[in-house]
Amino acid sequence: MSTTATVIARDERLRRASFLVRAMRRPELGALAGLALVILFFGIYADKSMFTLGGVMTVLAPAAELGILAVAAALLMIGGEFDLSIGSMVALAGLILGVSLAVLHLPFVVALLLTAVCAAALGAVNGTIVIHTRLPSFIVTLAFLFIYRGLSLVGLKWATGGSTQLRGIGDAAGGGFLPGLFSGLAFHPLFTWMAAHDMIQKFPSGEPTVQGVPVSILWFVGFALLATWVLLATRAGNWIFAAGGDANAARNSGVPVAPVKTALFMLTAVSAALVATLQVMNTGSTDALRGEQKEFEAVIAAVIGGCLLTGGYGSAIGAFLGAIIFGMVSIGLTYTHFDSDWFKVFLGGMLLLAVLFNSFIRRKVTGER
Amino acid sequence: MSDAPLIEVRDIVKTFGSVIALNGVSMSVRSGEVLCLLGDNGAGKSTLIKTLSGVYRPTSGEFLVDGKPVAFRSPRDALDAGIATVYQDLAMIPLMSVTRNFFMGREPVRGIWPFRRLDFARAQDVTREEMMRIGIDVRDPHQAVGTLSGGERQCVAIARAVYFGAQVLILDEPTSALGVAQTSVVLKYIHIVRSRGLGVIFITHNVRHAHVVGDRFTVLNRGRTLGTYDKSEIAIEELQNLMAGGKELAELSGALGGTV
Ligand SMILES: Nc1ncnc2c1ncn2[C@@H]1O[C@H](COP(=O)(O)OP(=O)(O)OP(=O)(O)O)[C@@H](O)[C@H]1O
Ligand SMILES: [Mg+2]
């Protein structure tokens, strides 16, 4: 048998992948480069206050809410599907939470669970329809984009007697530990301590200028880290990549593709409910127009983060960075002398660049012939 | 040990809409036996083995594993029953690494939930070892399968099925893209797997390969079983005729100037 000979003969073809090639294989490389460019741009043109602690919080707060959606959208995209209904789901979940608290006067725990369960169930409906009809998820969830938005409008008018806004939810939720997880600032004592020791800026009164970290940022970071771990280090992650890479091959190899995809649809819906909860708890109100266009922004952030539109490739950390780029550009322009309406031009350009870069990288590094 | 065949199907029918792919096929494979499934292009070989491996559900007919009727709902069920398959299209994900493909659907894990994670070290060792055994040096286990050559990819699929097949190994034209060395390794594999007591179902268009490793031959033609023959009953020329769906190969051979 000439197996050993074959092996030895092949050995000289073993070329160590250089660090650069290894780095290029990571899908989030483009987002990292993009972030560096954006920071450079604002470093040159923006007012210095953008890069103070306060400025960073101002940029990260909107990035966090979008980012939670973007990370979930990225997982779903890697799994080979889209969900265009997440923006409307934010409004619908906000309505469910708001009505449970302010109209039905349910305890916060119950209202929260009810919202999460409803969102998960609606996500499962999305997933089940997509899987059983084999229609593109794009078109199925586009239908739900309108259905959920319409339901939110109708529901809010019904609950308020004609208005599309429901107020006074914060008071109905009350205080305590659980509502505190979704509203206000975290690490307040730490920031006070740092101010007392002159480590951060403070007012003459001694109060720190930045009182803490908005909880949404913590949710964002936590969710992105968890998603990254699941994607790269667990069995579920392998199944997500496989289901998106080639659903048929994955199924034939023993991956439970349908449950994986359904779970991903449920996850995106629940992440929309989380964003809704954060918004409702921080503003004390809900509005039928909440989350408008967020579905597109989330997809854009995921693509900037390296996700392929065809599925099977991408990263949660990339979507995290994509959302931060998004936040920096949308807020950052107000720190410059540029008209902030350049934002959309910038974003479209960024998206186009990311798509071109992604497809180039895919061909180059993953050897698609 | 029971005397029942590992896998047996009787009068299996499988239709896709108006297309009748299988129209009453019967076959069986026993422990320690290589069954060669032969037939023309479009005879229904792949459809039959996809029914055996849980990809398709039969429209009608009996399907027995170890003498008991089964109804696999997905390939995962078949894998759990110890039936591993190398599909004609290989069922590989080009964008995923060799290791991730090798263990796709059957990932080794360590730690306790919720901290349970993939055991990469073990997965990598096993992949490298199994690939080495089949005669392929996986230079970099992180390499995407899409960058492998067609034959190398086929070897990954075969090594994977051999590693996970506990009862029955099904191979759908596994050597179509392989070099001489790798082909002989695969034929040797089939031999080893048989001596371990597994049943093997082997689809090939190469009569020599079939004759070297096969114990029995089931011939399909246009979705029906043409017949099943023991190796002792049939000469290699007859087998060749049967593989062409009973067409007179001698005629063909004459028309082509005796080259077939
Ligand atoms: N999913 C499907 N939908 C419709 N028809 C199908 C499907 N799968 C197979 N067929 C038809 O069933 C018949 C048998 O196909 P099959 O792939 O089993 O042939 P085969 O014996 O494996 O051929 P080959 O030697 O070329 O691989 C063909 O006529 C094919 O067109
Ligand atoms: Mg075939």
Q: Measured in whole angstroms, how far is the alpha carbon of residue A279 from the centre of its chain?
A: 15
Q: What is the pLDDT of residues A82-93, one digit of tens each?
A: 999 999 999 999
Q: B106 and chain A: CB distance < 8 Å anywhere?
A: yes
Predicted complex ipTM: 0.90
How sure is the predictor about A5, in pLDDT bands with cuts at 50, 70 and 90?
very low
Cα dist from A246 to A78, A288, B159, B194, B213, whole Å: 11, 38, 20, 32, 33
If you measure CA to CA, which chain B residue comes closest to A362?
A: B95
Distance in angstroms (rounded) separating the CA atoms of residues B126 and A278: 46
Among A366, A346, A307, smallest CA distance to A28 is for: A307
Tell me what pLDDT residue B29 has. 95
Q: Is-contact A188 A177, C-beta < 8 A?
A: no
Interface contact A255-B188, CB threshold 8 A: no
Query: Tokens standing for B43?
Result: 């005879």
pLDDT tens digits for range A126-179: 999 999 999 999 999 999 999 999 999 999 999 999 888 898 888 888 888 899
In DSSP terms, B96 is beta-bridged to: none
- Tell the residue nearest (CA) to atom 28 of ligand 1: B42
Contact B181, A3 (CB under 8 A): yes
Q: CA A340, CA B243: separation in Å to the nearest integer? A: 73
Alpha-carbon distance B171 to B157, whole Å?
10
The pLDDT score that the predictor gives to residue B78 is 96
CB A85 within 8 A of CB A137: no
Structure confidence by residue, pLDDT tens digits, A278-308:
999 999 999 989 999 999 999 999 999 999 9
**Starting from the edge strand earliest in sequence, which strands make up the sheet with B33-39, in order?**
B83-86, B168-172, B199-203, B33-39, B216-221, B224-230
E-assigned strands of chain B?
A: 7-16, 19-29, 33-39, 60-65, 68-69, 83-86, 109-110, 117-118, 168-172, 199-203, 216-221, 224-230
Give the nearest ligand 1 atom to B220 CA. Answer: 21
pLDDT digit string (tens) for A303-361?
999 999 889 999 999 999 999 999 999 888 888 888 888 888 988 888 898 888 888 87
**Is A364 in CB contact (< 8 Å) with chain B?**
no
What pLDDT does residue A208 have?
86
Handedness of CA B209, B214, B220, B221 (dihedral sign): positive
Chain B residues in contact with A229 by the CB 8 A cut-off are 117
Nearest residue CA, atom 17 of ligand 1? Answer: B46
Q: Do B104 and A246 touch (CB under 8 A)?
A: no
The mean pLDDT of B202-217, rounded to a whole number, is: 91
Structure tokens at A153: 């409008």
Residues sharing a CB contact under 8 Å with residue A54, sequence separation 6 or more, in sequence order: A201, A209, A210
Q: Report chain B residues whose CB lies below 8 A from the CB of A6.
A: 135, 137, 181
Of A7, A312, A369, the CB nearest to B135: A7
Residues in chain B with CB shorter than 8 Å from the CB of A3 are 133, 135, 181, 185
| pLDDT above 80 for B171 | yes
Average pLDDT on B204-213 reads 89
For residue B238, the CA-to-ligand 2 centroid distance in Å is: 22
Query: Chain A: nearest CA to B65, how far in angstroms?
Result: 18
Helix (H, G, I), strand (E, B) or coil at A182: coil
Of B53, B90, B146, Cβ closest to residue A368:
B146
With H, G, I as helix, E, B as strand and everything else as coil, classify residue B74.
coil
- Res A24: pLDDT: 67
Tell me the pTM.
Answer: 0.91
Domains of chain A listed by start with CATH number: 59-365 (1.10.3470)
Does the beta carbon of A25 lie under 8 angstroms from any beta carbon of chain B? yes
Q: Which residues pair with A165 in a beta bridge?
A: A287
pLDDT of residue A35: 92
Residue whose entry in the numeric block shows the structure tokens 């009569």:
B207
Q: CA geometry: angle at A26 spanning A23 and A27, to 5°?
A: 140
Q: Concatenated DSSP letters for B91-152?
A: T--TTSBHHHHHTTTS--EES-TTS-EE-HHHHHHHHHHHHHHHT---S-TTSBGGGS-HHH
Average per-residue pLDDT for chain B: 89
Nearest-angstrom CA–CA distance, A279 and A282: 5
User: What is the average pLDDT value for chain A, to the nearest integer?
Assistant: 89
Alpha-carbon separation of residue A64 from A10, A125, A186, A301, B231 (angstroms): 49, 27, 14, 12, 69
Question: Which chain A residues are closer than 8 Å to B132 by Cβ?
Answer: 7
How deeply is B61 buried, as exposed, middle or buried, from its count of CB atoms within 10 A (0-12, 13-18, 19+)? middle
Chain B residues lying within 8 Å of A131, measured CB to CB: none
Residue B16 forms beta bridges with which residues? B19
Estimate the crossing angle of helix A257-283 against helix A86-98, to 10 degrees. 50
Q: Is B117 on the interface with A (CB under 8 A)?
A: yes
Q: Which tens digit of pLDDT belongs to each residue from B93-137? A: 998 999 999 999 999 999 998 899 999 999 999 999 999 888 888
Pinpoint the alpha helices (H) of chain A. Answer: 3-11, 19-25, 29-45, 53-78, 86-98, 108-133, 137-160, 169-173, 177-180, 188-196, 215-233, 235-245, 247-252, 257-283, 294-304, 316-332, 342-365
The set of protein residues with a Cβ atom below 6 angstroms from ligand 1 is B 16, 19, 21, 39, 41-47, 88
Please give the average per-residue pLDDT across A106-120, as a whole number: 97
Least confident of A10-14, A224-228, B1-5, B17-21: A10-14
Look at residue B13 and give its three-state secondary structure: strand
Give residue B66's pLDDT: 93
Tokens of B127: 């992949």
pLDDT for res A189: 87
Report the DSSP beta bridge partners of residue B39. B220
3-state secondary structure (DSSP) of residue B58: coil
Instruction: Give A232 Cα–ligand 1 centroid separation in angstroms.
Output: 37
What is the model's pLDDT at position B254?
56
pLDDT of residue B143: 85
Q: Determine the distance from the C-alpha atom of residue B163 to the mean position of all C-alpha atoms in its chain, rounded to a whole number.
A: 13
B137 vs A10, A248, A365: nearest CB:
A10
To the nearest whole Å, the CA of A23 is away from the closest chain B CA by 12
Domains parsed from chain B with CATH numbers? 5-93+149-242 (3.40.50.300)
- pLDDT range class, residue A2, cuts 50, 70, 90: very low
**Ligand in closest contact with the CA of B88:** 2
Q: What distance in Å separates the CA atoms of residue B215 and residue B228, rounded to the nearest whole number?
A: 11
Partner B contacted by A7 (CB < 8 A): yes
**For residue B257, pLDDT beyond 60:** no
- Residue B149: its pLDDT value, please? 84
A194-202 long-range contacts (CB < 8 A, ≥24 apart) are A200/A53, A201/A52, A201/A53, A201/A54
**Phi/psi of residue A178, each to 5°?**
-65, -50
Question: CB under 8 Å, gap of 24 or more: what pairs does B119-126 form?
Answer: B123/B99, B124/B99, B126/B102, B126/B163
Q: Counting every residue, how long is chain B?
A: 260
Q: How far does the centroid of ligand 2 lie from the alpha carbon of residue A367, in Å?
A: 27
Q: How far is the CA of A313 from the centre of ligand 2 (A)?
A: 30
Query: Residue A367: what pLDDT?
Result: 58
* CB atoms closer than 10 angstroms to residue A114: 17
pLDDT of residue A202: 85
Q: Nearest CA to CA, how far is A9 from chain B (Å)?
A: 10
Residue of A nearest to B117 (CA): A234
Confidence of residue A6 (pLDDT cuts 50, 70, 90): very low
Tell me the CA–centroid distance for residue B53 and ligand 2, in Å. Answer: 14
Is it the case that residue A243 has pLDDT exceeding 80?
A: yes
SS (H, E, C) A291-326: CCCHHHHHHHHHHHCCCCCCCCCCCHHHHHHHHHHH
DSSP letter at A48?
G
